[in-house]
Amino acid sequence: MHLTVIIFGLTGPLGKEINLDESVIVLYRLIFAVLGIYIYFRLSGYKINYSKEALKETSYVGLIVGLHWITFFGAIKLSNVSVALICFSSSTLFTSLLEPLYFKRRPVLYEVVLGLLIVIGIFYVCKEPGEPFFKSKYLAGMLMSIGSAFLASWFTVINGKLIKQGRRAKNISFLELSFALIFLIIVVGSTYANNLSALQFTGKDILLCAVLGLVCTSFAYIVSVDVMKEISPYTVTMSVNLEPIYSILLATFLWPDSEKMSPTFYIGAGVILGIIALNGFIKMRKRSKPITSTPV
């Protein structure tokens, strides 16, 4: 899981370096991702399940995935890598509420509390000294990133349920990304029908899109779905909240001027990191407790 988080951490900086609109970035990313997975399946002899049930289960999830990536890169364009990635940590709260709904169980109190604390951390991350929260110059990017976090939580929980039902991670990933690609073709085609120049790319742009598609999507997406055989969607989401650390460190190194933040940013980021560590500690303690049988 943490290997994929490190790879996901490259997504923000790569997206900022690509000089294309967010929906166009996602389109090219998905083209490489779907082609990469398909070629891998052909070479490995993996058989894709195209049954009506499989297509029905994954079609709307592909739409959610496509919207998630559009809003994610849009948030980076409207703010910066650091703000967008930290606000994305709000996905923990959404997952703590959505997972019980889909898995038909009561919400876990400490998961909801930790999710709320992360939202408080986000408040300090994006609040500028001496200015009210709603006047932050990053507000538009923050709101878009939080929307992207909700979409990411939504499809993560759905995939967790599909995996628990015995669906194959590779099959789910390929079909969902394929439907996301169809959705992006429609979006980009309708948006730029009269402005085809927006689709033009440089060698650098297409190379970075290839890395996004093949490494940060094909490989990472399949693995992140597959690990839910062992861990819950909430824990996956909480682990992915470490992504901002890798992204922020890389972004600060690449763009020290635009990524330098106020002291409150680092206070909020510290709060979020502490919560992530606390969640890991609680989960570890729960898993290490001996299971005692109850007399019947």
- 255-294: per-residue pLDDT in tens? 666 656 667 777 777 777 788 778 767 776 776 554 333 3
Q: Does residue 296 form part of some domain?
A: no
- Structural domain range at position 246: 2-288
pLDDT, position 31: 95
- CA-nearest of 3, 20, 36 to 73 is 20
Tell me if 175 sits within 8 A of 51, measured CB to CB: no
Q: How many CA atoms lie within 13 A of 70 on its CB side?
A: 16
Tell me if 22 sits within 8 A of 83, measured CB to CB: no
pLDDT, position 260: 63
Q: Does residue 293 form part of some domain?
A: no
Q: Does residue 106 form part of some domain?
A: yes
Residue range 186-207, pLDDT digits in tens: 999 999 988 888 889 899 999 9
Higher pLDDT, 133 or 65: 65
Dihedral class, residue 57 (left if φ above 0, else alpha if ψ from -120 to 50, else beta): alpha
Q: Does residue 295 form part of some domain?
A: no
- CA-nearest of 228, 175, 230, 216 to 25 is 216
How many independent structural domains does the chain possess? 1
Q: Does residue 83 form part of some domain?
A: yes
Q: Does residue 294 form part of some domain?
A: no
Q: Does residue 41 form part of some domain?
A: yes
Mean pLDDT of the chain: 81
